[in-house]
Amino acid sequence: MNWNSNLINNLEWADKIINIEGKQKVAAEIAAKVKDGDIIGVGSGSTSYLALVAIAQRVKDEKLNVKAIPTSVELSMFCAKLGLPVTSLYEHKPDWLFDGADEVDPDKSLIKGRGGAMFKEKLLISSSAISYIIVDESKMVNKLGAKFPVPIEVFPQALPYVEKELKSLGATEIAIRPAKGKDGPIISENGNLVLDCKFDEIGKSFERDIKSITGVIESGLFIGYELNIVMAAN
């Protein structure tokens, strides 16, 4: 027997979706890639949400056997609302994944993590045979860090040490990301803090350099991954 939860059934995307027509077109393009038996990694963000809705409709219409591995609690709840079965990396390896990004440079390197889920997102991208990154023209930059800081998930008690080490790497601004809807900082789904860090230059080794700092769980830098960039029309 399934729960009949009004809280789940009444879920709606919280923020206004910008460029919704363009994003719905690319969501349909992502949904068209689904094959019976697929295990699909489901990224975060509004475009991923729209793609999830399109996939769930196709699964329902064509009675496909598909399972999702979401990157966040939010997307897990939407899977429940849409009737899309979920699984985990304990049980399955994703056949492919779709996700968004905050910035994409000419080398297909990314900044992700405005939603704070970069650890699970990176884990799924690393685990997936194929990764589709859905963006629109506004996300394309000449160099990483042009528009957004680098999100960094940090174990709370490591904060002073991590701050010192990030400054030694050239961080020009470091801020603890504040929460919305609660007092204090945002807490990641892993129980950690998220720092937003600005750098004048982000080198090719920065993802590895930041990750090597004791107390850093993960950063929002994705450098050197095999990614397929899918553009949403404006």
Q: Which amino acid is at 216?
A: V
Distance CA 102, CA 89 (A): 25
The number of helices, as runs of H, and strands, as runs of E, in the chain is 7, 12
**Active-site residue among 12, 21, 74, 121?**
121
Helix axes 73-82, 46-62, angle to 10 degrees: 30
62 is catalytic: no
Backbone angles phi, psi at 79, to 5 degrees: -60, -40
Inter-residue contact 192 to 176 (CB < 8 Å): no
Distance CA 178, CA 42 (A): 25
Q: Tokens 């709370």 identify what position?
A: 156
Q: Is 175 helix (H, G, I), strand (E, B) or coil?
A: strand
Q: Tokens 């929002």 identify what position?
A: 220
Catalytic residues: 121
